[in-house]
Amino acid sequence: MPRLLRLAAKAELFSDNFVTLRPYFAETQGASFNIKTGLDKDIRKLYNEIIEQLSSIFGKGVRDEVFCKLDPYYMAVALDGIINAFLLSWMEDPKQHPYKKGVPIITDIFLSGVLIKGGDRTN
């Protein structure tokens, strides 16, 4: 399951850099967390490139009828949002909400909403 491995790799990256990331997320989350808040121009550009690459992958999945006919850009943003929500819970209480425990939950929540299951779903 490559997608689980990618989410698990992100979990490992964040746990290895927990001390550095806690103040960063505290500064950037504001009233509602937005990864773009407070980012400099180069980091924002990189973030947008990553979202666009992910969007491209989802677009191919839509064309290949693996994913529902949803906007690939918003699918990428939604996945990023789910991941960041779990990261914030983990950062607030790592023992109560271990990120690695959330990886299969993130995968299930997201894929339950976008995978075609026995019929064509359109929005």
pLDDT at 101 (0 to 100): 84
pLDDT at 74 (0 to 100): 94
pLDDT at 32 (0 to 100): 45
Regions of the chain with pLDDT less than 70: 1-40, 42, 118-123
The rounded distance, in Å, linking the Cα atoms of 98 and 72 is: 29
pLDDT at 70 (0 to 100): 93
pLDDT at 90 (0 to 100): 84
In a domain, 122, yes or no: no
Domain assignment of residue 77, given as a range: 2-114
pLDDT at 85 (0 to 100): 85
The rounded distance, in Å, linking the Cα atoms of 1 and 50 is: 21
In a domain, 123, yes or no: no
pLDDT at 60 (0 to 100): 93
In a domain, 119, yes or no: no
pLDDT at 106 (0 to 100): 86
In a domain, 85, yes or no: yes
pLDDT at 113 (0 to 100): 83
Cβ distance 45 to 98 under 8 Å?
Answer: no
Token look-up 């109560």 returns 96
The Cα-based distances of 13 to 19, 42, 53, 61, 68 in angstroms read 12, 20, 20, 27, 30
pLDDT at 18 (0 to 100): 61
Q: Could you give the number of structural domains in the chain?
A: 1
The rounded distance, in Å, linking the Cα atoms of 65 and 43 is: 33
Token look-up 């964040």 returns 14
In a domain, 98, yes or no: yes
In a domain, 67, yes or no: yes
CA-nearest of 106, 114, 110 to 10 is 106
pLDDT at 1 (0 to 100): 42
